[in-house]
Chain A
Amino acid sequence: MKQQACQWRCHPQEEITAMGVDPFTLYCYWAIKQDPVKKHTLTVYNRTEHISWQIEVDQHAESLYVQIGQGRGEGGCAFQVAIGMVVSNIVSVPPTGPSNQLDQAWCNTAEGASPEGQIAPADGVLSSFCLTQG
């Protein structure tokens, strides 16, 4: 049943891992060779909106909570962090509100052959339903 082989690593010499705390914060921890003098530069990549910025980090630090700003866009964003050439996993950061995508795809699991997106709900369904009821 396994659809794909999963990547794994074991005790890499240098690594950085990112996790989402909420729509506004990441937590990352790392193991990077320390420079006795220079601070580390942590680069934060917003892979969805194609922007990045850098944060200076104490050379002895091993983890950090990173503020990634307000108002995550449509469907949330994918974030990644890096120190030098050591790059983290990608984190799916959630959106802060309802989606503006109103196009509908439907599926009937009892009719496996029915193509998605071609089955419409009944007439008169309010597209703003979740906002009025939430």
Chain B
Amino acid sequence: MPMGKGYLALILHCHLPFVRHPEHAEFLEERWLFEAITESYIPFIDLFERLCADRVSYKVTLSITPPLAAMLSDPLLQTRYRSHIEKLIVLSEKEIARTKKEPALNILAKFYFKAFQKARAIFERVGGNLLTAFRALQDEGSMALITSGATHGYLPLMAHIPNAVRAQVQVACSEHQRHFGRRPAGIWLPECGFYPGIEQFLEEAELRYFIVDAHGLLHATPRPVYGLHAPIYCPSQDQRSHVAVFARDPEASKQVWSADEGYPGDCDYRDFYRDIGFDLPLETIGHYIHPDQIRVHTGMKYYKITGKTALKEIYNRSIAEEKAKLHAENFIMNREQQVLSLSNKMDRKPILVAPYDAELFGHWWFEGPLWIEALIRQLAENPQVLELTTPDCYLQEYPKNQVATPPTCSWGYKGYNEFWLNGENDWVYRPLHQAAYRMIKVANQFVARPLSEMGAGILRRALNQSARELLLAQSSDWAFIMKTGTSPPYAVARTKLHLERFNRLCEEIDKNDVNETFLKDVEDKDNIFPEIDYRVYADSL
């Protein structure tokens, strides 16, 4: 029986764009996945399994996006990750030898050796497929898994093409069911991007909730009486299928996200940027970075943030662990104060929604998983004020909610669409929109054909691959990267590549002259969504 005075919903958004490059033996961007596996996803599995083993009661929500799920379950990437972690184990062994006369560094080298060995052990225990472990945690009951857009397409900027939005939602839900054995209860709208009208597609997909940034609720019409601290329902013709909207709590968010005030910037935490991949001479590290001798993060970092200085001090893991516990305690104290001030103004327990990019924990903020574990253990020991919940559990307890319409919004810079629509990336939308219209046209053209005629034939395969290419081109990550400037040539190339593949396939479909060699090649390269059905783009089945 719930005993607290309010709830905290911790939501971890796990997402990476589809970066699978079988055409190269090693590809720089695949390291995004490998680093996230070692530093975030495996530590999550480790900590949540330990909590279950210790019979600690908790509730947490993970959104695992379809591109990430596709990569985690992909045999090629699993094989490549295996090589990656083996190499890191060898590197850490060499570092133990190299640092034997520097005790403080040597302790850290041994720490990394154990951490990499543990990562490999967990990876092998789940048969190389981390989704197996997440699904088991879901089935155990403590972890809710939700989905996102099929390729994390930014939906407000395709709002005028309803079939394109529907496809992002429907394909995501089908993939989620294929991977996790059940329909998702909720969806993480990519970048929390909402526009009025999207709810009809969520309702069609039987999704019960999504999350917006704070102003998504604060600026809803009519004004929500409970502000951020209870969900609202989007208007619907069907009383039973209202989609609920939860809002991010800015205070909870700021304490973790803020570069100035957030916990991850604490001087005792590990410095992300000082990595031996950059610090050591090429003769020492050359074999463990990119084969073209491009320096990369190895994950072995010996220094702490220290302060605003270039003279970094050596990282002390024990001190950092204690700091993570203190920060968890501080976070709980602040959330409890919020709940206590809210609870006497509401006819229900307030909910504080704390969503974060999952890769913040472990990858960027190395101690992040320790902080999550400390947070959960401390809350389990003292649930008198604050308890963990999931949005779905909250809706079960409180099915009566105010009906209101949120405005167009996102959790990006300034809260709207600007980060994905600006001078750096606006050129992508014309060809993306044209491609979407073209996909709808060919889907409508062929949807009426009897299945027997289409069969498993080449035309059907080409239509399905066209849908994959369009979805991959729509990934919000490309526009995002073009704006951030982190690796814009790659993002530009990916956008153009998928559009080129898409347009070539459509031309061949139009001529009824599909080149099977080309088709097979792109099917092998872009093997996401093996069960996609192009008819998801059609006006009607």
Contact = CB atoms under 8 A, between A and B. Distances in A.
Interface stretch (B36-44, B325-333, B437-445): B437-445
B400 A6 contact: no
B437 A134 contact: no
B239 A102 contact: no
Interface string A6-24: 1011110000011111110
A19 B347 contact: no
Contacts of A29: 426, 429-430
A2 B540 contact: yes
A11 B434 contact: yes
B398 to A, nearest CB: 9
Contacts, number: 188
Given A1-B204, A6-B163, A21-B416, A11 B156 contact: no
Given A99-B220, A134-B214, A126 B239 contact: no
A5 interface: yes
A91 B195 CA distance: 10
Q: Which of B217, B229, B342, B433 has the most CB of A within 10 A?
A: B433
Interface string B505-520: 0000000000000000
B449 interface: no
Interface in B393-428: 395, 399-405, 407-409, 414-418, 421-422, 426
Given A20-B417, A105-B402, A129 B227 contact: yes
B418 A22 contact: yes
A101 B223 CA distance: 6
A94 B409 contact: yes
A3 interface: yes
B52 interface: no
Interface string A45-71: 000000000000000000100000000
B361 to A, nearest CB: 27
Q: Which of B159, B162, B222, B404 has the most CB of A within 10 A?
A: B222
A99 B219 contact: yes
Contacts of A99: 219-223, 404
Dominant SS among interface residues on chain A: loop
A8 B160 contact: no
Interface in A103-119: 103-114, 116, 119
A5 B540 contact: yes
B223 A100 contact: yes
B403 A121 contact: no
Given A75-B407, A116-B403, A6 B223 contact: no
Contacts of B223: 98-102, 127, 130
Given A92-B197, A125-B346, A107 B242 contact: yes
A19 B437 contact: no
B222 to A, nearest CB: 4
Contact of B195 (A27, A92, A102, A105): A92
Contacts of A114: 239
B28 interface: no
Given A98-B223, A102-B223, A125-B226, A22 B414 contact: yes
Q: Which of A75, A111, A114 has the most CB of B within 10 A?
A: A75
Q: Which of B156, B157, B160, B440 has the most CB of A within 10 A?
A: B160
A35 B227 CA distance: 52
A97 B219 contact: yes
B229 A133 contact: yes
A112 B489 CA distance: 52
B401 A106 contact: yes
A117 to B, nearest CB: 8
B123 interface: no
B221 A75 contact: yes
Given A27-B426, A97-B219, A134-B227, A8 B402 contact: no
Given A76-B407, A112-B239, A92 B539 contact: no
B420 to A, nearest CB: 9
A37 interface: no
A63 B227 contact: no
B408 A76 contact: yes
Q: Which of A2, A104, A132 has the most CB of B within 10 A?
A: A2
Given A21-B417, A76-B407, A89-B160, A10 B395 contact: no
Interface of B: 156-157, 159-163, 166, 195-197, 200, 204, 214, 217-229, 233, 239-242, 342, 345-347, 395, 399-405, 407-409, 414-418, 421-422, 426, 429-430, 433-434, 437-438, 440-441, 444, 539-541
Interface of A: 1-3, 5-6, 8-11, 17-23, 25, 27, 29, 63, 74-76, 89-114, 116, 119, 121-122, 124-127, 129-134
Given A104-B402, A105-B404, 18 more contacts: A10-B437, A10-B438, A20-B156, A20-B408, A22-B415, A92-B408, A94-B416, A102-B222, A105-B222, A107-B400, A107-B403, A109-B242, A109-B395, A110-B400, A125-B225, A126-B345, A129-B345, A134-B218
